[in-house]
Structure 1
């Protein structure tokens, strides 16, 4: 869909499309309400500004674990390097995911697009050293990066 088509959707349809980007209803409502955008950059800017810590838990609930074999749609595409990684790396990611979830109480959220499984594993291990408040801020930045890429795919010219 093009940006003009997105701008022309009714509010409910626009929110549904945005929920495919990020499963945070408050965020989707706010971004949909800001239409028309007329450019991908304007939509991305508003989407980034609208994203708050209050959206993080709902958004993370919509994300599969890194390396999860049941990842679908955008997540599968974004994590494609993990699917072809060596078995040892996939096992280490699964173990790291469990450790991360025990420490922080939510999935390891990272913008995986274009990154190797080894890089994602290194990043996961580094982030395990964060305190909860720091990690929440990092996760929010990662979510903004994921949203930016997904918005670009949603309304690609």
Structure 2
């Protein structure tokens, strides 16, 4: 869709479009309220301006909308609505051997158990091996540190999806 079309969407449809980029309700409302955008850079600037005001609750809401890294069935089924924006984000995992996917699953389970939210990484351009290494490394972090890491990765994902949106 064009930026002009996004600016002209009824509020309900604009919320849906932005929700597909990041599911944090506070961020979605801020992006909808920031319309109309004069250019894509203005839209990205609005997104950047909203990040510091998001709370832990907002981030957790955003994280819940993501499939777990390497969970290909989840990518196919649960997240069909974001397919066009999320295409290619986990290409490295889709091409991974079954053994590596199983290791990702085990480490994802450990991460969720430790932190209470799924492992978030901007997977674009990363191989399954790289994502597994990042996951294993980040498992050693504190919850506070990891929430910050995940929030920064979420911001990268949202920015890439906004760029694809218009």
Given that 2:86 and 2:161 are in contact with CA atoms closer than 8 Å, whether structure 1 keeps it comes out as no
Report the Cα distance in structure 1 between the residues aligned to 2:11 and 2:49, rounded to whole angstroms. 19
CA distance in 2, matches of 1:86, 1:117: 9
Alignment partner, residue 63 of structure 2: 60
User: 1:7, 1:38 within 8 Å by CA — same for their partners in 2?
Assistant: no
Deviations 1:35-88 (A, max 9, x none): 111211211121122132341011111111001122142445310110111222
Root-mean-square deviation over aligned CA pairs = 1.3
Which residue is 1:40 aligned to? 40
1:144-155 to structure 2, matched below 5 A, reads: 144-155=155-166
1:111 & 1:88 partners in 2: Cα distance?
A: 22
- Report what 1:19 is aligned to: 19
Number of aligned positions between the proteins: 155
CA distance in 2, matches of 1:76, 1:121: 20
Unaligned runs of 5+ in 2: none
Say if 2:89 and 2:123, in contact at 8 Å, map to a contact too: yes
Per the normalisation by structure 2, the TM-score is 0.88
Residue 139 of structure 1 aligns with which residue?
150
The 8 Å contact of residues 64 and 75 in structure 1, kept in 2 or not, is answered as no
